[in-house]
Amino acid sequence: MIPTVPYIQSCFDDYNTRFFGGQLPPIPIRLSHAKGFLGKVTFTRRKQGLFCGYKNENFVLRINARIDLPEHLIQDTIIHEMIHYFIAVNQLRDTSTHGRLFRQHMARINAEGNRHITISHRLTDEQRAQTIIHKTRAVAVITFSDGKTGIKVVPNNPQHIRYWHRMAMRRFPIERIEWRFSDDDYYARYPSSVALKIFLIANPNEIPQDDDKKIV
Ligand SMILES: [Zn+2]
């Protein structure tokens, strides 16, 4: 599955109650499309007066939404990041990034919650092998008879594409439909469905140009 912000939020709330006594303060959640990590907690360190050390603040929880992963792995990633957050927000010291304190919490939660959290931020080869990478979208770039341009993202399988193409040609004054198969995040903003709704694009130049194109 590809996680959404509300999904991550509900996991966070649930695990906060179960594993952290509900003590973790709310944290902004963002989706990441980076290749390098599954999750990350970022924050800034502000110097506190002369002798008081540092205060960690401006926390953000980032979870990867680029890769289609098994749900349990996304959940383990969220908990992994919550341990980092717990340590940083409470200004605790650890022996290293995944030091003794981190591993204590990891072992506790793995036992209590029957989880399989690891210290890795990356996929193991085994996980990679069972991962269905690719969120290739089927995108219709529509040129209307009046010259306007529109976009529609359709579930990427031949039946849906054929169905949508046929229905759209019947319903709308369309000059042509160009199908593209793209994993560009530009299209993530458009819902994927077979609904006969086309999003007009004010500036066609903003559409990515390096997709695989297929004119139907
Ligand atoms: Zn970590």
Sequence spans of domains, the chain: 5-129, 137-215
Tokens for 158? 């031949």
Ligand 1 centroid from CA 180, angstroms: 37
| Range of weakest confidence among 2-6, 16-20, 53-57, 58-62 | 53-57
Ligand 1 centroid from CA 108, angstroms: 16
Dist. CA 81–CA 97, nearest whole Å: 11
Ligand 1 centroid from CA 119, angstroms: 6
CATH number of 5-129: 3.30.2010.10
Ligand 1 centroid from CA 81, angstroms: 6
Amino acid at 23: Q
Ligand 1 centroid from CA 40, angstroms: 7
66 pLDDT band, cuts 50/70/90, is confident
Cross-strand pairs, 39: 63
Q: Per-residue pLDDT for 129 more than 60?
A: no
Count CB neighbours of 196 within 10 A: 12
Q: Per-residue pLDDT for 153 more than 70?
A: yes
Q: Per-residue pLDDT for 171 more than 80?
A: yes
Ligand 1 centroid from CA 43, angstroms: 14
Question: Which residue, 175, 206, 210, is CA-closest to 190?
Answer: 206
pTM value?
0.60
Residues 44-61 have pLDDT tens digits of 888 877 777 788 999 999
